[in-house]
Amino acid sequence: MREELHNLRNEALALIQEAPNSQELESLRIAFLGRQGKINQFLKELKNLPQEEKKQVGQLINEIKTTLEKAINHKSFTPQPAVNQKLDFDPTLPGKKPPQGHLHLVTQAIEEIQRIFTDIGFIRVRYPEVEWDWYPFTSLNMPPGHPARDEWETFFVDAPQDSKYGKMVLTPHTSSGQVREMKRLGKPPIRMINIAKCYRRQQDMTHTVMFHQFEGLLIDKNVNIPQLKGVLDYFAQQFYGPKRITRLRPFHFQFTEPSFEVDINCPLCLGKGCKTCKSGWHELGGAGMVHPNVLKAGGLDPQKYTGFAFGWGVERTYMMRSDIKIDDLRLFYSNDIRFLEQF
Ligand code: DAH
């Protein structure tokens, strides 16, 4: 019975404390302290107890009674608004939404490109923007002094030169990640998608000094050109739509053999040739089979492994979506909110 009494006291105190208004409090008073209340029921049961317990339990009941009375008498309420108080606003109207930002459209494009390639097993990596000359040039079959370097109009960094890796440069292309990835993994299979910033001395409607590229690299046994074409068509369909395909056009890069320029069919005529595109195709980027010297630079045996690589600009790729009309690449970085808000 003592335990029941203690529980009763705790329960009553908690309810009193939580009572939101005086009506509730009154009904609690009746329930616990009223004539038919719980305390009185315990008092009635007292007579069944042995003589010596009667006194102690009776005392406990009285103590609890006083505690509860005090708790009820001292309870105060924070003033409640009058029930009929007139509201000075319409609570049924929708609220005001605070202005909400979103990711920059280049970040959106990067996330989408990343998802497309990681869905088929490529692994996203990122390599240094400030890089040793060796990675974007020498390791890619462009030794110091080679004329192919001229194309990249590079920013060199005024820093001490390394005896093996050469000068420091702001990397002009994500191809610099190829040999880094070979070295990181040590052996194939290598399935890299390197998306990062690149820098070149250029600034006009379709070029900015800083821009982004994505670079795919796949190396394994028996990798071939049809597989490269398959991956490029898969990308074209995912990114541009189901009717889009790519075309490989012979070209020259130092780090691939054979090398190609990758074109995508025109969204309007799908490759037949129309007034806007003339040839039916638009140029996307570069690709090819990894040059044996590049595999060697990455410590791989070109007799054993082959690979393909491809790479092009994120901003350019995004601008070529037919649902987007951006004709000046510099808009991406001028941070005009009227432009950014449209995406
Ligand atoms: N790095 C080249 C550029 O910036 C693009 C490129 C061409 C990447 C051919 C490749 C490739 O991986 O195989 O113009």
pTM above 0.95, yes or no: no
Look at residue 119 and tell me whether its pLDDT is greater than 70: yes
pLDDT single digits (tens) 26-38: 999 999 999 999 9
Band (pLDDT 50/70/90 cuts) for residue 86 is confident
- Mark out the alpha helices in the chain (DSSP H runs): 2-18, 22-33, 38-45, 51-74, 105-118, 177-185, 225-240, 292-297, 314-319, 331-334, 337-340
CA distances 135 to 37, 160, 286, 327, Å, are 88, 16, 18, 33
Confidence of residue 81 (pLDDT cuts 50, 70, 90): low
Please tell me the predicted confidence (pLDDT) of residue 269. 94
| More confident site: 168 or 59 | 168
Quote the ligand 1 centre to 174 CA distance (angstroms): 8
Encode pLDDT of 253-281 as tens digits. 999 999 999 999 999 999 999 998 889 99
Query: Could you tell me which of 14, 69, 60, 3 has the C-alpha nearest to residue 37?
Result: 69
Task: Inform me whether the pLDDT recorded for 83 exceeds 90.
Answer: no
* Three-state DSSP class for residue 85: coil
What mean pLDDT is reported for the chain? Answer: 92
pLDDT at residue 85 tops 80? no
User: Does 139 have pLDDT greater than 70?
Assistant: yes
195 band by pLDDT with thresholds 50, 70 and 90? very high
What are the pLDDT digits (tens) for 212-268? Answer: 999 999 999 999 999 999 999 999 999 999 999 999 999 999 999 999 999 999 999
- Rounded-to-integer distance, Cα 49 and Cα 1, Å: 10
Q: How distant, in Å, are the alpha carbons of 47, 137, 177 from that of 296? A: 101, 14, 15
Q: What is the DSSP letter of 145?
A: T
Closest ligand 1 atom to residue 260 Cα is: 9
User: Does residue 216 have its Cβ closer than 6 Å to ligand 1?
Assistant: no
Q: Is the CB of 253 under 6 A from ligand 1?
A: yes
Average of per-residue pLDDT across 140-147: 94
In angstroms, the Cα distances linking 8 to 5, 28, 110 are 5, 12, 64
Backbone phi, psi, residue 263, to 5°: -110, 160
Ligand 1 site, residue 29, Cβ cutoff 6 A? no
User: 3-class DSSP state for residue 99?
Assistant: coil
Residue 17: predicted pLDDT: 87
In this structure, the strands spanning 210-220 and 246-251 are unpaired
Rounded to 5 degrees, φ, ψ at 188 are: -65, 165
**Tokens 């029941």 found at:** 4
Do 80 and 21 form a contact (C-beta atoms < 8 A)?
Answer: yes
Distance CA 338, CA 159 (A): 40
The position carrying tokens 């004539």 is 35
The answer to whether residue 100 scores a pLDDT higher than 90 is no
Angle (nearest 5°) at CA 106 between 101 and 107: 65
Ligand 1 center to residue 287 CA distance, Å? 6
Which atom of ligand 1 is least distant from the CA of 310?
12
CA distances (Å), 89 to each of 83, 92, 257, in order?
16, 9, 72
Strand pairing partners for 289? Answer: 308
Å from CA of 317 to ligand 1 middle: 14
Please give the pLDDT value at position 108. 94
171 ligand 1 Cβ < 6 A: no
Pocket test for ligand 1, best of 228, 312, 316 (most atoms within 8 A of CB): 312
What is the C-alpha separation between 277 and 245, in angstroms, rounded? Answer: 15
Q: How far is the CA of 325 from the centre of ligand 1 (A)?
A: 25
Residue 287 Cβ < 6 Å to ligand 1: yes
